Amino acid sequence: MTTLQSVRADDQLGELASAPPGEIDVAPLLGTWWATDKATDSVVKLELADRAGSFVVHAFGACTPAPCDWGERPAVPYAATVGSRDAMAFSAVYDFGFMETLLAAYMKGGILVLDTFNAFKDGSGRASYFTREFFHR
Amino acid sequence: MPAPLRLSRARDVPRDAAAGSAAPAVDPSPLVGTWVSFDAATRGLVRVVVALRGGRLAVRAFGASSPAPRDWGEAEGDAFAGGVDGVGGADRVGGVGAVAFTARYRFGFVDTLLAAYLNRRLLVVDCYSVFGDGSGRSSYFSRDHFYQPAGSASRA
């Protein structure tokens, strides 16, 4: 067992002598994810893609008459453990200028759970707010 | 006439958009106190202490380690309400005051984002960790659930 620098037990590789080779495989996350709540006033759709080795997210907000296209941003994939290579979560940041939004999401049982942490920067007086939504492919 | 609010989605609109821009400061007090993991055998976080320092959140996490928990020290946190009005709606998480927070720890060899929210009086803390030490360890996600022992809430 290899002892590595850590701040909690989960940081250790356990019985593995070393980390498995290669990068995190984002394939389990790829595709178009739709909000389970068709009447949501938050995020309606997420597209997760691999652009020549770069993992990206493309989000769409609930707007009328058409969804607001947030554009594509780089995303960070996460595995379930330090010794796993299968992605099951991601994070990304959208800076809209008037507001910054952190996306923090994980997959469980075929459902993607998305948390957003939103902080306004425009002096509009709107409170920073949190949302939690569920998505299916 | 004030400029129209910029939006990323419908939820960015205050319920009373004509009411002006009185700042609904997020009340962080629902988050304050000592939070203990339900899982006594967790390999993640064993305890999180949330305090107020000059009106800002101060988050202090403790990682599972032997023979004693590893004190991560204090990191500045940001508090979030359930909506732009500082309150949550029927379909939204929480009510008046903060329902979530984020905090970031940079240890050098690993960066960990804490993304946490209240579900009734349960605190759920998700950790997103990225290693930068060349050890080959995968970035990883983990989640722990916490309760507040009786008397540990410290409303500011």
Tell me, yes or no, whether A100 lies in a domain: yes
Q: Where are the alpha helices (DSSP H) in chain A?
A: none
Residue A17 above 90 pLDDT?
no
pLDDT of residue A67: 97
Predicted ipTM of the assembly: 0.94
Pairwise CA distance, residues B109 & B132, whole Å: 5
Residues B3-24, mean pLDDT to the nearest whole number:
75
Number of DSSP helices (H) and strands (E) in chain B, helices first: 0, 8
Residue A8 CB contacts under 8 Å (≥ 6 apart), including other chains: B43, B44, B45, B63, B64, B65, B70
* Domain-embedded: residue A13: no
- As a whole number of angstroms, the distance between CA B132 and CA B147 comes to 32
Instruction: Report pTM.
Output: 0.92
pLDDT tops 90 at residue A99: yes
- For residue A1, the model assigns a pLDDT of 54
Residue-wise pLDDT for B48-98, tens only, equals 999 999 888 999 999 999 999 999 999 999 999 999 986 654 344 444 589
Q: What is the pLDDT of residue B94?
A: 41
Average pLDDT, chain A: 94
Contact by Cβ (8 Å): A100, A119:
yes
Residue A128, pLDDT above cutoff 50: yes
pLDDT at B66: 93
Say yes or no for a CB contact (<8 Å) between A117 and B85. Answer: no
| pLDDT score at B18 | 56
CA-nearest residue to A115 within chain B is: B115
Cβ of B6 and A83 within 8 Å? no
Q: pLDDT tens for residues B111-123?
A: 999 999 999 889 9
Using an 8 Å CB-CB cutoff, list chain B residues near A91. 113, 115, 128
* Percent of chain B with pLDDT strictly greater than 90: 71
Whether the per-residue pLDDT at B44 is higher than 50: the answer is yes
Which among B68, B93, B64, B69 has a CA at the least distance from the CA of B81?
Answer: B93
Domain-located, residue A8: no
Closest-CA residue in chain A for B80? A129
Q: Is A123 within the bounds of a domain?
A: yes
CB contact under 8 A, B133 and A119: no
Give the per-residue pLDDT at B89: 45
For residue A106, pLDDT beyond 50: yes
How many Cβ pairs closer than 8 A exist between chain A and B? Answer: 189
CATH number (domain holding residue A78):
2.40.128
A61: in domain: yes
Q: Residue A78 domain-assigned?
A: yes
Query: Can you give the residue range of the structural domain that contains A34?
Result: 23-136
Amino acid letter, A92: A
Residues in chain A: 137
Q: What per-residue confidence (pLDDT) applies to A119? A: 96
Task: Please report the pLDDT score of residue B65 as a whole number.
Answer: 95
Q: For residues A72 and A48, what is the distance between their CA atoms, to the nearest angstrom? A: 9
- Chain A positions touching B92 (Cβ under 8 A) are 131
| Residue A115 distance to chain B (closest CA, Å) | 8
Residue among A33, A69, A40 at smallest CA distance from A132: A40
Partner residue opposite B138 with nearest CB, options A24, A63, A124? A24
Nearest-Cα residue of chain B relative to residue A5: B109
Provide the pLDDT for residue A18.
74
Determine whether the interchain pair A83/B143 forms a contact, defined as Cβ–Cβ distance below 8 Å: no
Answer whether residue A2 is part of any domain. Answer: no
pLDDT, position B150: 85
For residue B30, give how far its alpha carbon lies from the nearest alpha carbon of chain A (Å). Answer: 14
Q: Min CA distance, A1 vs chain B (Å)? A: 14
**pLDDT category of residue A16 using cuts at 50, 70 and 90:** confident
* pLDDT at res. B154: 58
Those residues whose C-beta lies under 8 Å from the C-beta of residue A23, and which sit 6 or more positions away, are: A85
Query: How many angstroms separate the Cα of B54 from the Cα of each of B28, B58, B76?
Result: 12, 9, 11
B6 and A104 within 8 Å at the Cβ level: the answer is: no
Are the beta carbons of B81 and A21 separated by less than 8 Å? no
Do B115 and A115 lie within an 8 Å CB cutoff? yes
For chain A, the domain total comes to 1
Facing A19 at nearest CB: one of B84, B112, B135: B135
Distance, CA of B53 to CA of B45 (rounded, Å): 22
Is B20's pLDDT higher than 60?
A: no
* A63 domain-assigned: yes
